[in-house]
């Protein structure tokens, strides 16, 4: 598990570094459309990786309060996770007939 997490973090770091280098090259050479295309392709990948990492932290409960005060997508994710926890508790308390 630790190796898997290290690989994910390393992959995210490598993509962020590559993105930064492409941005600096684009700032130096504004006429290169190929660089702009590469940057446009990398943005969604980085966004997805960051959201996966964020969802993992939310599941662990580490950033619950911070995310509830964040922007709308993060708030909705925190809300869904809270609802899931409530349902689990209710199911644990109910017996076979559905009585609490």
8 Å CB contact between 32 and 25: yes
Residue 42 has pLDDT above 70, yes or no: yes
Q: What is the C-alpha to C-alpha distance for residues 32 and 10, in angstroms, rounded to an integer?
A: 28
Residue 23 has pLDDT above 60, yes or no: yes
> For the chain, which residues make up each domain, given as ranges?
1-60
Residue in 61, 79, 55, 84 with CA at minimum distance from that of residue 69: 79
pLDDT tens sequence across 64-95: 555 555 566 666 777 778 888 888 777 777 76
pTM of the model: 0.41
The residues, any chain, with a CB within 8 Å of residue 81's CB and separated by 6 or more, are 58, 59
């Amino acid at each position: 598990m630790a190796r898997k997490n290290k690989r994910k973090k390393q992959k995210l770091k490598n993509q962020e570094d590559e993105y930064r280098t492409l941005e600096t090259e684009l700032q130096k050479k504004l006429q290169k459309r190929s660089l702009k295309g590469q940057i446009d392709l990398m943005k969604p990948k980085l966004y997805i990786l960051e959201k996966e990492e964020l969802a993992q932290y939310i599941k662990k409960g580490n950033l619950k309060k911070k995310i509830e005060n964040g922007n709308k997508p993060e708030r909705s994710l925190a809300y869904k996770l809270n609802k899931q926890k409530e349902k689990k508790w209710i199911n644990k308390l109910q017996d076979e007939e559905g009585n609490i």
